[in-house]
Structure 1
Amino acid sequence: MEKTIHDTYRELFTNWQQSGLSKASFCHREGISKASFYYWSKKFATDLPASNSPVGFSRIEVADPVLPTPVARITYPSGISVELFGPLDPDRIKALLV
C-alpha cells in the first residue's frame, strides 16, 4: 500500500519531535517545504492529547536578591511574556532572545 501525504508528514512530524531541531532547521535538513511542514505540524499538534503539565517557560530561581517588580518585560506577538528583574546584563538578555 502506498503512503499518503498524511502518513508521510505524520512520520516527518514524529521525526522532527525526536530530533530536537527547530522546525526550520529540520525542514532544511530534510529538504522539505517549510510552509507545508508548518501546515501539517499545526494539524498534528491539535491531534495530540492535552498534557496536564505546563509547556513552555519554567521559573528560574536566582541566588541574588532581586527587585519585587520587573525592570523589563519582553512580550511576543503570541502573548508570551518574559519579565526581567534586577540589574540587566545585555549578554544575558541576548542569550534569552537567541
Structure 2
Amino acid sequence: MGARGDLTDTQWTRLEPLLPVGKKPGRPPIWTRRQLIDGIRFRTRTGVPWRDMREQYGPWARVYDLFRRWQLRDRARRSVGAAERGVGSTGFGIPAVYVGGPVQACQHD
C-alpha cells in the first residue's frame, strides 16, 4: 500500500494511458513512473525541498527531472487535466507550480 496521498490504483489506471510513451530503447527503468509521479505529488503537496524528498519516490534528481521536463513541455497540465476530468473532484493533485522559488506549505484541517 502506498503512502497517504499517493495515487490509488483506480487513478493510476486512468492516468497511465494519458502519459507520453518513451521513445528511447535501452535498459528498463529502476523507478516506475507511478513512483516518480507520486514523488512529484508529494513535493507539490508538502512543499518539501527537492533534496529532502522521501526515498520511496526515487532519487530527488530523477523526480525533479521528470517534473521539469513536463513543466517545460506543458504535458503535466494537459495530461493530468484530462485525467482529472475523468476522475472527478478528488483529482490527482498535481498543481501547476513555479519551481524557481521557495514554496510554502500550509496545513489544512
Please state which band the TM-score falls in when normalised by the shorter chain. Answer: 0.3 to 0.5
Which structure shows the higher strand fraction?
A: 1
- Please give the TM-score of this superposition, normalised by the length of structure 1: 0.37
More RCO (CA 8 Å, sep 6+): 2
Structure whose residues are more often helix by fraction: 2
TM-score normalised to structure 2 length: 0.34
Bigger Rg, structure 1 or 2: 1
